[in-house]
A and B are shown apart, each in its own frame.
Chain A
Amino acid sequence: MTAQDDRQDERIRYLLGDVSEEDAQRLEAEYLEEDGAFDALLAAEDELFFDYARGGLSDGERRKFEARFLHDDEGRRRLARTRVVSKALRPRSALRRPSVWIGLAAAALLVLAFWSIVRRGPVDDPDRSIAAVTPVPPRANPVVVLTPGAEARVYVPADAPTLTLEITLPEARPDAPWQLVLSTADGASVWRSENPIRSAVRTLKVEIPARGLAEDEYALVLSDGGGAPAVYGFVLLRD
């Protein structure tokens, strides 16, 4: 690691609140007095937003980032903008070229064809072939299991009236009055708990209206009125 990488590592740790008070004061003296040091920290902060948006932070870093930068609307709006830009900057590689799409589609068809032959099994087993083509009925009441640090996916059929959020609480606190806010990737709140919710166990189950939820990335922010909020991410998929 070069000395410059080392400084960048220190900047990231400072921004996540992970340096000693002595080191924090030294960095603060530097950037308050030198514009170059300040610019380097602004750049490091911006990269943290990009890395978070792309899932490039460790669990611990994610939690610290959420507590420090996503506790207010401004931070969440900034993250939403970063996500938009980050998606556009994904290596264009060759994916936008039609010939590559055609190639990929052909490869996918080959894989599917091969897989269907493998799964079909012996041709004289009618039950197996029927099972292979029987569609799986969509769940009328889908459930998404949310655990800290993991991004879940849930398929919600168009006619599902509700979506159940099954949340593993950050800590077991039977008397904590949890408040929940669900936001889209661009920071718009789409649902919030009307009253604080309590749970005697570490798992909380909440049923929310599903019809107004579009296909999107969502963030569920869980707070108990003090301390750092817990943030859970999930992707909601539609037909």
Chain B
Amino acid sequence: MSRWVLSQESFDRLLSVLDPDREKAALRYEQMRRKLAKFFQWRGCSGAEELVDETFDRVARRVDEGVKVWVDDPYSYVRSVATRVAQEHFRSPARKAQPLDDAPEAIVAPPPAAEEDDPRLDCLTECLDALPDEQRRLLETYHEGQGLKRIQARRAIAEGLGIPINALRIRAFRVRSGLMACIDDCTRRPRNESAPAA
């Protein structure tokens, strides 16, 4: 029996089931991919992206076969397929330990760059300076302290901002993500090129 392969037509059919509007369907597909990649990673699977592909291949195949996989809740069906894919991943013989003697030749990397040569430090300064004051203050106070003191401090920040603690966590996460992205962009630029104007 020949192996089923995802064709453009199958993919289009999958998108049309996600949403009749193609643009919305594409956005929904991307968001599902992102969530599924995390789903596999948080389940402790290696090679999450491949497992996401496998999940969508199976779902698309069922759609191709004319199975009504969902009506209002696509996540429910996709989740059940993804759970099965994860379970199979853990049972896979490929996951069994490989003899170390079969491992490729060890590579000795060059010694690390001295700290003063680390481009990330310059970038960090640049990106922190570019951060609006209130965001920088939020990060500094959010990460201050340990244990109970930190919990109390975070509650106080949330109260001060008039938002629930969970919204504060997400807000701090978004500021950190922006900072990380800025550092990544900056380190990819040639060293003498200045940051684009905000």
Q: What residues of chain A have their CB less than 8 Å away from a CB belonging to chain B?
A: 2, 4-5, 7-8, 14-15, 17, 24-25, 28-29, 31-33, 35, 38-47, 50, 56, 67-68, 71-72, 81, 84-86, 88-92, 177, 179, 184, 186, 188-194, 196, 212-216, 224-227
Contact = CB atoms under 8 A, between A and B. Distances in A.
A15 B180 contact: no
B176 A46 contact: yes
A190 B111 CA distance: 6
A194 B106 contact: yes
A35 B32 CA distance: 10
Would you call the interface of chain B mostly helix, strand, loop, or mixed? helix
Contacts of A216: 112, 115
A214 B140 CA distance: 29
Given A44-B169, A196-B100, 20 more contacts: A24-B43, A29-B75, A29-B76, A32-B79, A33-B76, A40-B169, A41-B42, A43-B169, A43-B173, A68-B44, A85-B180, A88-B128, A89-B139, A89-B140, A91-B140, A184-B112, A192-B106, A213-B111, A214-B115, A226-B97
B100 A81 contact: no
A8 B151 CA distance: 12
Contacts of A84: 120-121, 124, 183
Most buried by A among B42, B118, B144, B170: B42
A159 B62 CA distance: 66
Interface in B100-145: 100-101, 103, 106-112, 114-115, 118, 120-121, 124-125, 128, 139-140, 143-144
Contacts, number: 133
Given A40-B169, A56-B146, A192-B106, A225 B100 contact: yes
A8 B76 contact: no
B69 interface: no
Contacts of A188: 109, 112
A41 B164 CA distance: 16
Contacts of B101: 177, 196
Contacts of A81: 120, 180, 183-184
Nearest to A29: B79
A84 B179 CA distance: 11
B76 A177 contact: no
17 contacts: A28-B83, A29-B75, A32-B39, A40-B166, A43-B169, A47-B173, A50-B143, A71-B46, A85-B124, A89-B139, A91-B144, A186-B118, A189-B109, A190-B109, A190-B111, A192-B106, A224-B97
